[in-house]
């Protein structure tokens, strides 16, 4: 690896100038420390005058003289966010001025990354800075590209405050700086690029440098299971109008928590199939007959009413209740994410029930029917649609989220070894991975947004691991790790310091490990739980501990503020086992939640994901124990 050098002009690779260093007015001193060949700590100490300094004065910037091929602010801006029809910040400018974002809006404090032909370089604010930080990027001097840190915290020209909504006035943190000296710090990670989107080392170093010594207190697996089961059984389940299943969550009506029943989904937010399977495990664990009755009632209900003659599965029961046999309606859009859930959960239920002596061949037949539909409706380029109408015509063709069906086909192939299932899975994965390599991001995962996001990359990562396990081809493992690098850009690497005047400060919430949602939704949720098993596998297969550490951080982060039945937030007692969907870790609000607060929306899916991880862990340990017993005998 070539040596990078730093002098007063900037960073050099041999005689080539990689980045000029500047961006400050007034009197200041710079100190540069190379902790290793590619990692630098940059501190800038300002002399404070007698009068209060201008908030414009305190900056640290790098200007890349070469044309930038890809730029990114993790969780906020991926090469301009030009994919999709949302109104999130796009490009580098808002009007004629560069977008300026508070450091805590990104999963790396004021983190920015850019790549040219000659360098892959990232910069972020040191977590120990005495005041808040902000970041901005802009094109300067022809093809020059500037990454600029600002102190204290600022946002503008407008503040992106809720989905597709802005506050028109900029925000400036009020910090009194008068007399003496003040020092700011930044970390720079630079390397010669190896392929496109070469930010993996930047993320890895940021994870190490932002490491917290203080560890979150963890609940035991048994405690998490017990709390989850309490919420599922006593708060989510209901039977009504030929339906047995679960509401999508609880909302506060001004006096109490009530079930939200307008969306009844097999997967995604509703997670009816997964929660039903967890009830079957509850019966397997402790022989609770009511858990068995309810679990079977849910899956039987869906299997009877939702299966269409073409193999497609109606994913929302509230639409089944509304339309009945009138399947030609255009309200029903059966999407890849929900169809994936139907396939994998029904197959798992079928096999678990088989061990219990209970026959449900219909579950297996339904799951494989969905797989057959996917193969028959695969597009010429290998992709699957995001969603179909009941008659099998496409309602939405675009988005990496279609890769959920490639992952479902891997499950179908494991079940019945049909060659056409594996061939279709390979073709689908290849198509979506090719798009990812071309653009550097994935798209359209959340059903209520249409933008660059995190969720759509999860099936791409997991499908790569499935294909590696099935075929043994190490190229799939390399691709799984490449996608995981992108997914890591959505993870919080540090703990945002919240003041006691904020709800998150009062709750003691820690952001490290949490995952941001999308460029259109600037908040944290627990959806990273869907990555935990994949990242643990990736750690084993590659021998890299970082993936296990990231998975464990997701798990630990997700356990915060699960109510024990006594938790009071804003005067509302949270039911036992419940948890808010969204953490508003930045200057962001929802219909109810305020900045640096919570969403006040107690969903089903985060509980479903945790229960699924626990039951999978149980089955892995059970198989290991069985192998050990056989070996001893």
Residue 9 banded pLDDT, cuts 50, 70, 90: confident
- The radius of gyration computed from the CA coordinates of the chain, to the nearest angstrom, equals 25
Residues 6+ apart with CB under 8 A from 439: 79, 83
Residue 1 banded pLDDT, cuts 50, 70, 90: very low
Cβ 229 vs Cβ 577: under 8 Å: yes
Give the tens place of pLDDT for each residue, 10-67.
899 988 999 998 877 778 899 988 888 889 999 999 888 766 555 566 899 999 999 9
Give the tens place of pLDDT for each residue, 575-597.
999 999 999 999 999 887 789 99
Give the tens place of pLDDT for each residue, 473-527.
999 999 999 999 999 999 999 999 999 999 999 999 999 999 999 999 999 999 9
28 closest CA partner among 1, 64, 53: 53
315 closest CA partner among 372, 374, 271, 351: 271
Position 177 scores a pLDDT of 66
Strand positions, DSSP E, 27-157 = 28-36, 39-47, 59-64, 70-73, 77-78, 93-94, 97-98, 100-102, 112-115, 120-125, 134-140, 144-150, 154-155
| Rounded CA separation 272/313 (Å) | 14
Q: Taking residues 300-324, report their average pLDDT.
A: 98
Average pLDDT, rounded, for the chain: 93
Q: Which H helix or E strand runs over 92?
A: none
Position 215 scores a pLDDT of 79
Position 617 scores a pLDDT of 83
Position 447 scores a pLDDT of 66
- 120-124, 175-179, 324-328: range with lowest mean pLDDT: 175-179
Token digits of residue 621: 């340990």
Look at the block and give the residue holding tokens 């086909």.
Answer: 409
The structure's pTM equals: 0.96
| DSSP 8-state code for residue 456 | T
Token digits of residue 422: 């594996």
Domain ranges for the chain: 4-209
Position 2 scores a pLDDT of 56
Q: Is the pLDDT of residue 633 over 80?
A: no
Position 371 scores a pLDDT of 98
Q: Is the pLDDT of residue 625 over 70?
A: no
Position 622 scores a pLDDT of 64
Q: Taking residues 96-124, report their average pLDDT.
A: 97
53 closest CA partner among 172, 186, 185: 172
Start-to-end CA span in the chain (Å): 53
> How distant is the alpha carbon of residue 473 from its chain centre?
27
| Rounded CA separation 118/122 (Å) | 14
Q: Percentage of the chain with pLDDT > 70?
A: 95
Inter-CA distances, 56 with 6, 130, 134, 403, 434, Å: 26, 17, 12, 46, 43
| DSSP 8-state code for residue 597 | S
């Amino acid at each position: 690896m070539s040596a990078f050098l730093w002098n007063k002009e900037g960073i050099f690779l041999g005689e080539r100038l990689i980045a000029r260093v500047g961006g400050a007015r007034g009197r200041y001193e710079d100190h540069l420390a190379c902790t290793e060949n590619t990692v630098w700590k940059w501190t800038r100490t300002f002399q404070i005058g007698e009068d209060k300094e201008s908030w414009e004065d305190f900056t640290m910037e790098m200007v890349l003289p070469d044309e930038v091929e890809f730029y990114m602010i993790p969780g906020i801006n991926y090469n301009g966010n030009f994919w999709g029809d949302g109104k999130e910040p796009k490009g580098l400018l808002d009007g004629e001025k560069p977008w300026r974002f508070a450091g805590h809006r990104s999963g790396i404090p004021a983190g920015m990354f850019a790549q040219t032909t000659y360098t892959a370089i990232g910069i972020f604010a040191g977590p120990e800075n005495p005041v808040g930080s902000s970041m901005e990027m802009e094109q300067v001097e022809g093809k020059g590209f500037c990454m600029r840190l600002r102190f204290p915290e600022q946002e503008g020209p407008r503040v992106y405050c809720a989905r597709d909504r802005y506050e028109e006035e900029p925000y400036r943190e009020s910090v009194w700086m008068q007399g003496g000296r003040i020092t700011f710090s930044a970390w720079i990670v630079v390397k010669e690029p190896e392929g496109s989107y070469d930010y993996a080392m930047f993320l890895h170093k940021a994870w190490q440098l932002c490491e917290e010594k203080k560890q979150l207190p963890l609940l035991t697996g048994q405690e998490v299971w017990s709390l989850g089961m309490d919420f599922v059984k006593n708060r989510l389940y209901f039977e009504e109008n030929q339906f047995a299943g679960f509401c999508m969550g609880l909302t506060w009506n001004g006096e109490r928590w009530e079930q939200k029943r307008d969306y009844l989904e097999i997967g995604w937010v509703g997670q009816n199939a997964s929660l039903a399977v967890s009830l079957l495990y509850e019966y397997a664990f402790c022989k609770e007959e009511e858990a068995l009755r309810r679990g079977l009632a849910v899956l039987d209900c869906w299997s009877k009413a939702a299966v269409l003659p073409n193999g497609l599965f109606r994913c929302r029961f509230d639409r089944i209740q509304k339309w009945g046999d009138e399947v030609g309606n255009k309200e029903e859009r059966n999407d890849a994410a929900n169809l994936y859930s139907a396939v994998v959960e029904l197959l798992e239920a079928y096999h678990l029930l088989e061990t219990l002596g209970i026959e449900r061949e219909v579950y297996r037949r339904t799951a494989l029917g969905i797989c057959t539909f996917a193969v028959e409706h695969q597009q010429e380029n290998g992709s699957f649609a995001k969603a179909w109408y009941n008659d099998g015509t496409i309602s939405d063709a675009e988005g990496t989220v279609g890769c959920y069906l490639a992952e479902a086909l891997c499950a179908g192939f494991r079940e019945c070894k049909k060659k056409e299932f594996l061939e279709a899975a390979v073709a689908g994965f290849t198509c979506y991975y090719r798009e990812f390599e071309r653009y550097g991001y994935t798209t359209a995962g959340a059903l209520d947004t249409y933008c660059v996001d995190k969720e759509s990359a999860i099936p791409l990562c997991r499908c790569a691991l499935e294909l590696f396990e099935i075929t043994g081809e190490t190229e799939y493992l390399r691709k799984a790790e490449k996608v995981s690098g992108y997914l890591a850009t959505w993870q919080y690497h540090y703990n945002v310091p919240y003041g006691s005047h904020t709800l998150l400060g009062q709750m003691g919430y820690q952001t490290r490990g949490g995952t941001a949602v999308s460029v259109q939704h600037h908040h944290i949720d627990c959806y990273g739980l869907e990555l935990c098993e994949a990242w643990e596998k990736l750690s084993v297969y590659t021998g890299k501990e970082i993936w296990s550490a990231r998975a464990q951080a997701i798990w630990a982060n997700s356990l915060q503020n699960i109510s024990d039945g006594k938790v009071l937030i804003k005067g509302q007692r949270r039911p036992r086992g419940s948890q808010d969907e969204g953490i508003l870790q930045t200057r962001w609000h929802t219909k109810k939640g305020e900045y640096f607060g919570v969403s006040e929306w107690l969903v089903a899916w985060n509980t479903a994901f945790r229960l699924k991880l626990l039951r999978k862990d149980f089955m892995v340990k059970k198989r290991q124990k069985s192998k050990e017993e056989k070996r001893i005998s």
